[in-house]
Structure 1
Amino acid sequence: MEIYRLMSEKAAKKAPAKTPGKTPRKSPAKGPGKPALTPARRLAAIGAVLALLVAVVAAGIAIAGGSGKHRPAAGSSADPQQKVYDQVERTTSRREKADPLALGRADAPVVLVEYADYQCSFCGRFTRESQPELIKKYVDTGVLRMEFRNFPIFGEPSSRAARASWAAGQQGRFWQFHDELYAKTRKGAALAEDKLVDLARDAGIKDLDRFRTDMNGSAAEAAVNKDQEEGYRLGVQSTPSFLVGGRPLAGAQPMSEFEQAIEQAKAAAGAKK
């Protein structure tokens, strides 16, 4: 179910302008660290319907210039694709209570899933500008759960940083380390192992020897591959990419776009009770 690839292709035909705030991933054909794809029956079962849906939604957003026109108003119950969104949310949101790469209640009505790379400047912009507002307005009030997925697309520095972020999570400091990484744009040598250890120290990670061991271990590699594989199955084409209550949203969009998507998903969740 390559929802983001099909969404991008359809939108490009109708609106050639680039979607703002996205860092495109490199071609996966020979890209470093790309895991072998495995069957995903639950995702594939809704692929055809969702592909058409998100293509139309993306084209509508592009035509409206990101202003929110030509889309259902927040709280609308007339969205004929809501059942599809619900199924996507169920198949992609993990809702694990002890997930160190998640913020918010496991039973929150809306889940935002983010696919991101630590060398992506737009991912950093989202973290610095939109994430704090989303946490204050929606996570802290119990409306939203945020789940991070490592989706390294720019080679070994990105993969190493992704493994390091997982290692930080093993000591309960994922989000502190995540925010340190995104405090400014870091690329290449700035993500060398020793630099990451320095950032871990700044993020309050106590056992740096364990951090280094975990970062280079097979469990970190497997966790990153799991996230990356999920993104490839969905057809993620750029970072950051999001699912908000099952609704695809690509790029570091304005806060208003996230607010509208969250309110729509919240209203839909409320209507099911």
Structure 2
Amino acid sequence: MPSSQSTSKSKRVSYRELQQQRQRQKRLIAVVFVALAAIAVVVVLILSNRPVEFTRPEPIERSPVNATSVGDPNAPVKVEEFSDFRCVHCAAFWRESERRLVEEYVATGKVYFTYTPFSFISDESFLAAEAAYCAMDQGKFWEFHDYIFANYDLPMTEKLLRAFAQDLKLNLAQYDNCMASGKYRQKVQEDGQYARSKGVTGTPTFDVNGTLVGQTELFATIDQALASSTQP
């Protein structure tokens, strides 16, 4: 029969072993945690470096271009579009009607067309407008404008906008500096104030020789303005 001394010793050994087992478990948990954290970092790096997927729009021939305007400044009809880059109806106008406006009216010398961002829907509206202005510095406002609307269904993140700039072969250092400096942040705000001062309350709204209309009335209003301009 074991003595009480040997039983006590056995108990002490079992307790020590239990403590060691717990320490091994803690170390194992720590190793697993570090491994999972490392895997998470690798996944984030892979995702962040993955090429951005987007739609490259079919080019629209616009000439001559003057910053955010296109056409003959002496055209009889001046059309100014007030538009938000995150406005679903503005994207629909670009997709369904802008090519017609450019080809039938601007290219023929009838209309001088200006695009003015009226940003109010979300932070992405302001960011996209700033990016378009930064592209304007390199003569690519309209191309950038087309990329934004062609990818309307995607979140307008800084990464996506920069991918547009890269695809358009902009000087990325110049573009990055323009965005980081907030060069056009105030201008985008002022564009909104200007639109409201004209009586614009929604997008898209078009100023046709001083008359504000929606997209459904746009072409009829242009035709009326052209007819009036030719009357003796």
- What TM-score comes out, normalization by structure 2 length? 0.68
2:228 pairs with 1:263? no
User: What residue in structure 2 maps to residue 131 of structure 1?
Assistant: 98
Shift of 1:195: 1.1
CA distance in structure 2 between the aligned counterparts of 1:145 and 1:114, rounded to whole angstroms: 11
Greater Cα shift, 236-245 or 128-137: 236-245
CA distance in structure 2 between the aligned counterparts of 1:169 and 1:221, rounded to whole angstroms: 14
Shift of 1:108: 0.9
2:191 pairs with 1:227? yes
Q: Is the 8 A contact 1:151 1:227 kept in 2?
A: yes
Q: Matched residue of 2:212: which SS?
A: strand
Following superposition of structure 1 onto structure 2, how do residues 1-273 of structure 1 map, counting pairs within 5 Å? 99-186=66-153, 190-202=155-167, 204-250=168-214, 252-253=215-216, 257-271=217-231
Q: Aligned letter for 1:165?
A: A
Shift of 1:146: 0.9
RMSD (Å), alpha carbons: 1.9
Give the direction of change, closer, same or farther, for the CA distance of 1:208–1:258 in structure 2 (3 Å limit): same
- The unaligned stretches of length 5 or more in structure 2 are 1-63
User: What residue in structure 1 maps to residue 10 of structure 2?
Assistant: none
Q: Is the 8 A contact 1:244 1:262 kept in 2?
A: yes
Give the direction of change, closer, same or farther, for the CA distance of 1:269–1:205 in structure 2 (3 Å limit): farther
Query: How many equivalent residue pairs?
Result: 169
- The unaligned stretches of length 5 or more in structure 1 are 1-96
Between 1 and 2, higher relative CO (CA 8 Å, sep ≥ 6) is seen in 1
Q: Deviations over 1:119-161 (max 9, x none)?
A: 1111011111100001110111000111011111123211011
Q: Is the 8 A contact 1:115 1:242 kept in 2?
A: yes
Rg (Cα) greater in structure: 2
Q: Is the 8 A contact 2:86 2:122 kept in 1?
A: no
CA distance in structure 2 between the aligned counterparts of 1:152 and 1:115, rounded to whole angstroms: 9
CA distance in structure 2 between the aligned counterparts of 1:99 and 1:223, rounded to whole angstroms: 17
CA distance in structure 2 between the aligned counterparts of 1:193 and 1:220, rounded to whole angstroms: 15
Q: Matched residue of 1:237: which SS?
A: coil
Q: Aligned letter for 1:237?
A: T
CA distance in structure 1 between the aligned counterparts of 2:183 and 2:74, rounded to whole angstroms: 27
Give the fraction of aligned pairs with identical amino acids, expressed as a percent: 30
Q: Deviations over 1:209-242 (max 9, x none)?
A: 2112213434312321232111111232211111
User: What residue in structure 2 maps to residue 37 of structure 1?
Assistant: none
User: What residue in structure 1 maps to residue 38 of structure 2?
Assistant: none
Q: Matched residue of 1:107: which SS?
A: coil
Q: Is the 8 A contact 2:135 2:170 kept in 1?
A: no
More helix by share: 2
Q: Is the 8 A contact 2:76 2:226 kept in 1?
A: yes
Q: Aligned letter for 1:191?
A: M
Q: Deviations over 1:73-102 (max 9, x none)?
A: xxxxxxxxxxxxxxxxxxxxxxxx973111
